Structure 1
Amino acid sequence: MDRPTLDEILEAVGEFLEREVLPGIQDPRLRFQTLVALNALAIARREVALGPALREEDHRELRDLLGMAGDREDLLRALAQRIRDGEAPSGTQAFLKAHVRRKLLLASPRYLERYP
C-alpha cells in the first residue's frame, strides 16, 4: 500500500489546522472558516472510510424495496416519484429512516447520538 494514504493525508492536514493554525487566529471570520474547513476534512475522512459501503448498502436496500435493478441514483429518483404519486412501496418509511441514518454517518454522526 502506498503511504501516506488519503486518510492519513486528510488527518495530517486536520491536525495541522487544529493544532498550529487555529490557536493563532484572532479574526473571528477566519476562525469560523478554519472550523468549517476542519469539519469538511472530517466529512471527507468519513467518506473515504465509510462512503462506499454505505452507498452499497443503500443500493441493495433500494433494489429490494423497489424490486428492480438500476444504479442507486436512478432508484432513488424512482422511489421519489412513487412517493409523489402516492404509491410508496411497503417498507418505504424504514428505508428512508435507514437512508437518512447512513447520510448522517457521513455528514454529522453526532446527530445520531443526540437523536437515535
Structure 2
Amino acid sequence: MDRPTLDELLEATAEFLEREILPTLADPRLRFQTLVALNALGIARRELALWQGLMAEDQRALATLLGREGEGAELLGELAHRIRQGQAPEGTFAFLKAHVARKLRVASPRYLERYP
C-alpha cells in the first residue's frame, strides 16, 4: 500500500490543526471553526476504520429482523414502511437502538459513553 495512507493524512492534518494552529487562534469564531474541522477529521477517520464493518453488522441484523436477505438501504426502507403501517416486527426497538449506536460509534462515540 502506498504511504501515507488516507488515515495517516487525516491524522497528520488533525495534529497540525490541533498543535500548531489552534493554540495561535485568538478569534473565537476561527477557533470554533477549527474545532469543527478537527471533529470532522475524527469522524472521517472513524468512518474509514469502522463504517464497512458496522454497516455489514447492520445489514445482518436487518435481514434477521425481517426474515430475508437484501441490501441494507432496501431492508431499512422496508422496516420503515412496516413501522409506518403499524406492523413493526418483534425486536424492532432493539434493532433501532443498536442501529443508532452503530452510527454514533462513527459520528460521536463520546455520546455513547455518556448515555449508555
Question: TM-score, length-normalised on structure 1?
Answer: 0.97
After superposing on structure 2, the runs of 4+ consecutive aligned residues of structure 1 that deviate more than 3 Å are none
1:80 is matched with 80
1:26 is matched with 26
2:109 is matched with 109
How far apart, CA to CA, are the structure 1 residues paired with 2:5 and 2:89?
42
Which runs of 5 or more structure 2 residues have no equivalent in the other structure? none
Which runs of 5 or more structure 1 residues have no equivalent in the other structure? none
1:49 is matched with 49
1:66 is matched with 66
Deviation of residue 69 (structure 1)? 2.3
Q: Give the counterpart letter for 2:23 in structure 1.
A: P
Provide the alpha-carbon RMSD of the alignment.
0.7
How far apart, CA to CA, are the structure 1 residues paired with 2:74 and 2:53?
18
Q: Give the counterpart letter for 1:6 in structure 2.
A: L
How far apart, CA to CA, are the structure 1 residues paired with 2:57 and 2:18?
33
Q: Secondary structure of 2:73's partner?
A: helix
- The number of equivalent residue pairs is 116
Per-residue CA deviation, residues 25-82 of structure 1 (Å, 9 max, x unaligned), is 1111111110000000000000000010000000111111111222111111110110
Question: TM-score, length-normalised on structure 2?
Answer: 0.97
Deviation of residue 85 (structure 1)? 0.6
2:12 is matched with 12
How far apart, CA to CA, are the structure 1 residues paired with 2:89 and 2:67?
10
